[in-house]
Homo-oligomer: A and B are copies of this chain.
Amino acid sequence: MYGPRFKELRRAYGFEDVAIVPGEVTINPDLANTSFTLGQHTFSIPVLASAMDGAVDPAFAIKMGQLGGLAVLNLEGVHGRYDNPDEVLDQIAQASKEEITPLFQKIYSAPIKEAAIGSCITKIKDGNVVCAVSVTPQNTKRLAPVAVEAGADILVVQSTVTTARHVSRSYKGLIFSEFCQQISIPVVVGNSVGYNTALELMETGIEGLLVGVGPGAACTSREVLGIGVPQISATIECAAARDEYARRAGRYVAVITDGGIRTGGDLCKSVAAGADAVMLGTPLAQAYEAPGRGYNWGMASPHPTLPRGIRIEVGTKGSLEQILMGPSSVTDGTQNLIGALRTAMGICGALTIKDMHQAEMIIAPSIKTEGKIFQMRQLLN
């Protein structure tokens, strides 16, 4: 005998819902080591630039590498489709609000050219930095060999939601376990959010996992599809999978929180939740060096029948170096992100990123206090 079964709902948390608690020991920020490892590559700062056309072009990728981070170039973006990407980016920046979604749909329906891909990768490699590029699962089998051939160091396979098991009628699904064995460079996969999915993907042999579905500023998946998991909970789940997988398999896969990070505070919370690194879109698209001309837009924006990204006017706020390494001339958390991380690590007594994973966090919604609203009003005026 049993009664009715009601669907159960768990509570999930995002950046705004939580805060980090200071540690019982503090250290000086200059003792904090922020380095992060992906496959055989080690980076001095745990920041990746998103594979968005408003954020990354080859010149930006070189600058990012010189500062100690890693930019990902989208091979299915304007650089992989056009010989004159700068003209296309000008068109996007000049389009009106009404024109932009159809324009995206048109621009991103042009064919991907293998020559253009090769040329981009060569440019980045000529800058003497690690070169990472991204493709979608549908195009991975065709484009991955081209990228490796051209000299790419890291391959990111990215779609809105990625699992180890995908069923398709129109094409034979990408089997990650086979693919990771065949390809000679480290593979990063995403985006994912759940514990089981993360564990299954790690078992396929990937070196990094992008965490996050729906939270980005330029993404409206939550409105359009109802799908989305707040980043703190998503990161906690994937970090638990990473630790469990490391315990079982003796191999450590990088967990990279991707989407929705706007400030140093968000970055610090991602790491405290368990991220080994973060992927930033809009905050880096605000750099003088970014190719977006003051705009950014999501990879789902050009979808032909169901666009769910928007072009956001992000402005230009400072040099990439200032945004990442300071000094900051603002107090809203959008500059000197690494300085913020070092300071937070100091306050939590964390010598390394892995120490910072142990920092205590609390649920403490920030927006509803009048004090903060007062403060926000001050910042806005």
Binding site for B on A (CB under 8 A): 3-7, 9-28, 30-31, 101-102, 160-163, 165-170, 192-197, 200, 213-217, 220, 222-230, 232-233, 236-237, 239-241, 243-244, 260, 262-269, 272-274, 301, 304-310, 312-313, 326-333, 336, 339-340, 343-344, 347-349, 361-375, 378-379
Identify the closest chain B residue to A244 (Cβ): B4
CB distance from A114 to the nearest CB of B (A): 25
Interface pairs A-B: 8 shortest CB-CB:
A226-B265, A226-B268, A223-B333, A305-B327, A28-B168, A224-B333, A4-B240, A27-B167
Residues of chain B within 8 A of A13, CB atoms compared: 9, 364
CB distance from A325 to the nearest CB of B (A): 9
Q: In the bound complex, do residue A269 and residue B101 qualify as a contact, i.e. CB atoms below 8 Å apart?
A: no
Contact A225:B26 (CB < 8 A) given known A343-B306, A370-B367, A371-B15 = no
Q: In the bound complex, do residue B370 and residue A224 qualify as a contact, i.e. CB atoms below 8 Å apart?
A: no
Contact partner of A195 (CB less than 8 A), chosen from B4, B28, B332, B369, is B4
Q: In the bound complex, do residue B224 and residue A263 qualify as a contact, i.e. CB atoms below 8 Å apart?
A: yes
Q: In the bound complex, do residue B349 and residue A167 qualify as a contact, i.e. CB atoms below 8 Å apart?
A: yes
CB distance from A285 to the nearest CB of B (A): 14
Q: In the bound complex, do residue A344 and residue B16 qualify as a contact, i.e. CB atoms below 8 Å apart?
A: no
Q: How far is the CA of A343 from the CA of B221 in the complex (A)?
A: 10
Contact partner of A371 (CB less than 8 A), chosen from B215, B236, B243, B363, is B215
Contact A333:B30 (CB < 8 A) given known A12-B362, A368-B367, A369-B16 = no
Contact A226:B269 (CB < 8 A) given known A12-B363, A160-B347, A305-B339 = yes
Q: In the bound complex, do residue B27 and residue A220 qualify as a contact, i.e. CB atoms below 8 Å apart?
A: no
Q: In the bound complex, do residue A310 and residue B25 qualify as a contact, i.e. CB atoms below 8 Å apart?
A: no
Q: In the bound complex, do residue A371 and residue B7 qualify as a contact, i.e. CB atoms below 8 Å apart?
A: no
Q: In the bound complex, do residue A10 and residue B362 qualify as a contact, i.e. CB atoms below 8 Å apart?
A: yes
Q: In the bound complex, do residue A378 and residue B272 qualify as a contact, i.e. CB atoms below 8 Å apart?
A: no
Q: In the bound complex, do residue B367 and residue A227 qualify as a contact, i.e. CB atoms below 8 Å apart?
A: no
Q: In the bound complex, do residue A226 and residue B329 qualify as a contact, i.e. CB atoms below 8 Å apart?
A: no
Residues of chain B within 8 A of A273, CB atoms compared: 7
Identify the closest chain B residue to A304 (Cβ): B327
Residues of chain B within 8 A of A6, CB atoms compared: 195, 236-237, 240
CB distance from A343 to the nearest CB of B (A): 6
Residues of chain B within 8 A of A213, CB atoms compared: 22
Residues of chain B within 8 A of A25, CB atoms compared: 163, 165-167
Q: How far is the CA of A363 from the CA of B101 in the complex (A)?
A: 31
Q: How far is the CA of A193 from the CA of B328 in the complex (A)?
A: 27
CB distance from A371 to the nearest CB of B (A): 5
Identify the closest chain B residue to A309 (Cβ): B331
Given contacts A4-B240, A21-B227, A22-B197, 7 further A-B contacts (CB under 8 A): A15-B369, A26-B167, A31-B169, A222-B265, A222-B372, A223-B332, A310-B379
CB distance from A301 to the nearest CB of B (A): 7
Contact A168:B27 (CB < 8 A) given known A240-B4, A304-B327 = yes
